[in-house]
Amino acid sequence: MDLTLTDDQRKFREYARDFLDNEVVAHRAEWDRAEAVDPAIVPKLGEMGFFGLTIPESYGGLGGDYVTYCLGMEELGRADSAVRGIVSVSMGLVGKVILSHGTEEQKRRWLPGIATGEVLACFGLTEPDTGSDAGNLRTRAVRHGDDYVLTGQKMFITNATWADVCLVFARTGGPGPKGVSAFLVPTDTPGFAVREIKGKLGLRGQATGEISLTDVRVPADARLGEEGQGFTIAMHSLDKGRVSVGAGCAGIILGCLESVVAYAGERQQFGRPLASFQLIQDMIADISVELDAARLLVWRAASLIDRGEPFGVAASKAKYYASEAAVRAANSAIQIFGGYGYIDEYPVQKYLRDARVMTLYEGTSQIQKLLIGRAETGVSAFL
Ligand code: FAD
């Protein structure tokens, strides 16, 4: 495996970092306290190309590779995971499956807007009663002539209150994953209602919502893929999404490392900088090694995607390891900062709160281990 980054990839990372330091890092504490990212950041991210990175130029994107995308996600994770999620859900989870499973008409309708951030998308899989067991979701889509009518509830949906379109997974057939289909539902369709969920532990600036679908009527051509293909589409989307979450987690670890190195160099106790104590270096060394390990797992999965090879298990490993490592790194970072780590003058407490959800969404750590265990043993312990 080639572990070097190209000049273009390095340049993109520097360009992303400069922009994010000015436009996101400078405001993240204020947005976190207000529980709202400033929506004006979305068009700016669009202008910088974050939304269009891996969408082909023919659909308004930049046609970049997945490794470059992961570098962007790492910088976004270092800056503010609440902002990273806006991009990685809209473009990463929804835009990319429209590209892989959409009709030409669906691609032309949605991708140019998603690629610039003018259109925001959300991904509606989880329901109040079905999370990890998403294949048993209950939202229904019933065919009426040339339309489908959707009824049900979606829970914890990122971008829900900001989105223009929601990729809704709903049951068109019998029980289990094979009865699920996917629909691109404009959020202004009558019967589509959103309630914002406030009071989250982390990702406080991100718009997370609960969606109610009451007799939402969409034309049959809003269906993405064939009837019964919805669960496969969702899993395909989440496999790629997990690589992007892993990259965001590497960014959290990077942010922790930079913060603790700077702080431990300045803060004096017992007449010496914290950095000179071996027990402090022990924690810093662990953060540094976990950053390398997380990055390497993410880059391996991303390079498999770029080469068109199977990457699902590599994605689970990257997401599982990087998310758990991000929690460990942020926890150690708070320890190194002492009491100052516990207040929001410094970013490390936010890194911990934001990292915590990464072990839950897009498949919990337990679900990632079951996927890895199934690949190793050939036995499914959960389906
Ligand atoms: P449950 O599935 O009820 O799991 C509870 C616990 O049981 C977990 O520890 C889990 O690992 C464990 N468990 C479950 N099954 C097994 C098993 N077979 N073996 C061992 N342990 C098991 N969803 C979307 O569709 N779109 C989004 O945009 C989105 N954004 C989110 C944003 C946030 C901030 C949050 C918190 C969630 C978001 N989610 C989203 C939902 C997220 O994907 C789910 O929360 C997650 O899949 C877990 O589902 P659950 O919360 O229902 O937990």
pLDDT in tens, 291-349: 999 999 999 999 999 999 999 999 999 999 999 999 999 999 999 999 999 999 999 99
pLDDT band at 383 (very low <50, low <70, confident <90, very high): confident
pLDDT band at 173 (very low <50, low <70, confident <90, very high): very high
The predicted structure's pLDDT at residue 1:
66
Report whether pLDDT(2) > 80.
no
What separation in Å is there between the alpha carbon of 323 and the centre of ligand 1? 14
Amino acid identity of residue 60, one-letter, is G
Structure tokens at 35: 């529980």
Q: Over pLDDT 70: what percentage of the chain?
A: 99
Q: How far apart are CA 183 and CA 106, in angstroms?
A: 11
Neighbours of 285 (CB within 10 A): 11
Please state, rounded to an integer, the average pLDDT across all residues of the chain.
97
The predicted structure's pLDDT at residue 3:
76
What separation in Å is there between the alpha carbon of 167 and the centre of ligand 1? 18
Find the Cα–Cα–Cα–Cα dihedral 58, 64, 66, 72, rounded to 10°.
-120
Atom of ligand 1 nearest to the CA of 357: 36
Report the sign of the C-alpha dihedral through residues 133, 130, 111, 68, in that order.
Answer: negative
What separation in Å is there between the alpha carbon of 262 and the centre of ligand 1? 36
Residue 362 is a catalytic residue: yes
Residue in the structure block whose two tokens are 């289909």: 181
Segment 196-240, tens digit of pLDDT? 999 999 999 999 999 999 999 999 999 999 999 999 999 999 999
pLDDT band at 50 (very low <50, low <70, confident <90, very high): very high
The predicted structure's pLDDT at residue 4:
86
pTM tops 0.95, yes or no: yes
Average pLDDT, stretch 121-137?
98
Residue in the structure block whose two tokens are 């969702």: 234
